[in-house]
């Protein structure tokens, strides 16, 4: 799942989520784009602009609430994991959908494999497909992606009433999965990038996402603007922290050590490069690894991590 996992599971001294709100801990300057809905103990993040479309339902789940028991705490685990029961996850999903007012939509989830495989859903599905993004214009289907650090993205074309849900870790980002998903929307629904709204949900931030030098090298060889997405660990004595990224031609001498990658910046740059308008791109400033009381982080919790669910659907008329 990741080249350099750091599994620091600190079970003592863990902060509890009681009374904390997500937006109060987010450092994002565009906080006003986001709203936090609290429904029966569940906290859901939404984009204010997108709530104005009555035909659309969308939301990003968070950790508190739910029926799963993680380390003595009740959590809303929405993915089938080894430590949790299927019954718990199904009940959590039912509660999440109910809180969203989306109980009448059919939730479709993918078997995510860090690929660039995109599915067009235009009918009722029998079983989960393998892939990392889905698109549809069909009412009644709730597209979803599961994450615990990776970047969840939701796209809306209000003109053509088409939507997409995308899962992008570093592999998906490197393979430009969001660009390819928009390509599918252009092909199937005649969507225009300039009409689209895009939301990048809570994910591991550039503050915490450590990757190996080989990952940095791959990005540098493919994206001219990649140096802006990386940072080095600050020890205070580097004269120029990212000098090696800016000065070294891609493909030559590998960078010396692990670096920090900002996947949100990388995906946002891909969206802008396609022609989406800057004010139509909403990026959560919440870091899954920093806010473990409110979100799930695979890097921090390892196999005992839960999963967040990001969903989008067109309401049945």
Sign for the CA dihedral angle at 93, 303, 286, 156 comes to negative
Q: Which is nearer to Zn ion, 185 or 204 (CB)?
A: 204
Residue 15 CB, nearest approach to Zn ion (Å): 14
**Closest CB 27 distance from Zn ion, rounded Å:** 10
In terms of CB distance, is 132 or 210 closer to Zn ion?
Answer: 210
Least distance (Å) from Zn ion to the CB of residue 173? 17
Question: CA–CA separation, 134 vs 144, rounded Å?
Answer: 8
Which is closer to Zn ion, CB of 155 or CB of 289?
A: 289
- 245/289 with CB nearer Zn ion: 289
Question: How is residue 55 written in tokens?
Answer: 């035909």
Separation CA 49–CA 243 (nearest Å): 39
Two structure tokens written together for 7: 């599994």
Minimum distance of Zn ion from residue 251's CB (angstroms) = 30
Residue carrying the six token digits 């214009």: 137
C-alpha atoms less than 13 angstroms from C-alpha of 222 in its C-beta half-sphere: 16
Which residues lie near Zn ion (CB under 5 A)? 205, 207-208, 287, 289-290
Minimum CB separation of residue 159 from Zn ion in Å reads 36
Q: Identify which of residues 84 and 149 has a Cβ nearer to Zn ion in the complex.
A: 149
């Amino acid at each position: 799942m990741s080249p350099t996992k750091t599994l620091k599971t600190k079970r003592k001294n863990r902060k509890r989520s009681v009374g904390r709100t997500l937006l109060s801990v987010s450092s994002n300057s565009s906080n006003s784009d986001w709203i936090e809905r609290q429904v029966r103990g569940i906290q859901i993040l939404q984009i204010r602009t997108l709530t104005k479309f009555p035909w659309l339902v969308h939301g990003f789940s968070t950790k508190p609430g739910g029926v799963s028991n993680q380390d003595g705490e009740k959590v809303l685990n929405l993915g089938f994991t080894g430590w949790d029961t299927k019954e718990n996850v199904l009940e959590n999903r039912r509660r999440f959908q109910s809180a969203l007012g989306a109980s009448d939509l059919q939730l479709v989830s993918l078997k995510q494999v860090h690929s660039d495989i995109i599915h067009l859903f235009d009918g009722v599905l029998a079983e989960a497909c393998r892939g990392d993004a889905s698109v549809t214009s069909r009412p009644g289907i709730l597209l979803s992606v599961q994450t615990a650090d990776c970047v969840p993205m939701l796209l809306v074309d209000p003109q053509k009433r088409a939507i997409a849900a995308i899962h992008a870790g570093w592999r998906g980002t490197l393979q430009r999965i969001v660009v390819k998903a928009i390509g599918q929307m252009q092909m199937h629904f005649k969507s225009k990038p300039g009409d689209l709204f895009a939301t990048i949900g809570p994910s591991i931030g550039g503050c915490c996402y450590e990757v190996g030098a080989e990952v940095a090298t791959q990005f540098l060889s493919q994206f001219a603007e990649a140096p802006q997405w990386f940072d080095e660990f600050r020890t205070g004595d580097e004269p120029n922290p990212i000098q090696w990224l800016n000065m070294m031609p891609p493909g030559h001498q590998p960078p010396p050590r692990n670096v920090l990658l900002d996947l949100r910046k990388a995906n946002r740059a891909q969206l802008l490069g396609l022609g989406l308008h800057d004010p139509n791109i909403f990026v959560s400033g919440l870091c899954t690894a920093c806010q473990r009381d409110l979100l799930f982080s695979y890097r921090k919790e390892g196999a005992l991590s839960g999963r967040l669910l990001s969903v989008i659907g067109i309401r049945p008329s």
